[in-house]
Every structure is written in structure tokens, then in C-alpha cells.
Amino acid sequence: MAKPMTKTQLVAALAEKMGTDKKSAGGALDAIVGIITDEVSDGGAVTLPGVGKIYCRERPARMVRNPATGEQIHKDADKVVKMTIAKALKDSVNG
């Protein structure tokens, strides 16, 4: 399995695709991440065309088991960020 692309590598690739400098590309990436974070944390969802949909889902309170002791403990309700991958991306990966 290949190593994941780092932020530095992503910014460099984005700058090359945009035909701009790395500082502008880094600012654009930071702005996109900020917008996605704000929207999802407020309970909304963001669709990235060709990539997928990022959204927040609430999980109810439940009983879970401590794997070390086997003891049942109560876990409060919480939220988790999910992503549904777009069919176009799945198809391009699978050939």
C-alpha cells in the first residue's frame, strides 16, 4: 500500500494544477478545509463532486464492553463524522 499524500505534497500538486504558487494553493486548501469543518460541525453536509459527501451523524447512548476487563459500561450519545464515497471515484479506482 502506498504512503498517503502529505499536506505539503497536496499543496504542491494543487499549485501545479492551478498554475499558481504554493502559498496561494495552501491558502485555498486551508479555506476549503475550514468551510467543510464549519458546515459539518454545525450539522450540515458537504458534497465534493466526484469525491463524496462528508456529514455528521449522531450515535445514541449505548452499553459497550471494556475489552480489557469485559465490564459493561455506559457510553453517552456522541457525534461521528462520516463520508460516503462517490460512485465515480469508486469506479475509477476499480478500473
Rounded alpha-carbon distances, angstroms, from residue 57 to 18, 65, 72, 84, 85: 34, 22, 24, 12, 16
- Taking only the tens place, the pLDDT of each residue in 35-90 is 999 999 999 999 999 999 999 999 999 999 999 999 999 999 999 999 999 999 99
Question: What pLDDT does residue 49 have?
Answer: 94
Q: What angle do CA 73, 56, 5 make, to 5 degrees?
A: 105
Q: List beta partners, residue 74.
A: 63
Question: What pLDDT does residue 2 have?
Answer: 85
Query: Containing H/E element for 78?
Result: strand 78-85
CATH of segment(s) 44-95:
4.10.520.10
| Residue 95's pLDDT band (cuts 50, 70, 90) | confident
The C-alpha cell at 92 is: 475509477
The domain ranges of the chain are 1-42, 44-95
